[in-house]
Amino acid sequence: MNAKLKEVKDRLRVLMHAEVRTTGRWVSAVVRGWMNYHAVPGNRASVDVFRTQVCRMWYRTMRRRSESGRRRWPWKRMQRLIRRWIPPVHIVHPYPNERLVVAHSR
């Protein structure tokens, strides 16, 4: 997870002055991709940590855009962006016994 968070941080730095919509789409795709692979039963806390860290990195990046960024990017404004672009954490894959019972029922 740390390697991916570092990649996200580096990419956010590159996208710092891009449109919010462009960055939002990219961040959304990263979080959805992470959840599609890692959101298995018993791993919700880890997925939640990843999502939270990505949100914090995006917030810090948005605040670094200019000297007045600290005034123009209060946390409430960022929360609206997070609700719009970053999906909430949910378990994507069922438990293996549930998945196999449905697939191989007789």
Q: How many domains does the chain have?
A: 1
User: What would the DSSP string read from start to end of 42-105?
Assistant: T-HHHHHHHHHHHHHHHHHHHHTSSTTHHHH--HHHHHHHHHHHSPPP---SPPHHHHHHHHT-
pLDDT for residue 105 is more than 60? no
Structural domain of 85:
2-103
**Whether pLDDT at 103 is above 70:** no
Q: Which residue has the higher pLDDT, 102 or 39?
A: 39
Q: Is the pLDDT of residue 25 over 60?
A: yes
CA dihedral for 96, 37, 93, 88, sign (positive or negative): positive
Predicted local distance difference test score (pLDDT) of residue 104? 58
8 Å CB contact between 46 and 1? yes
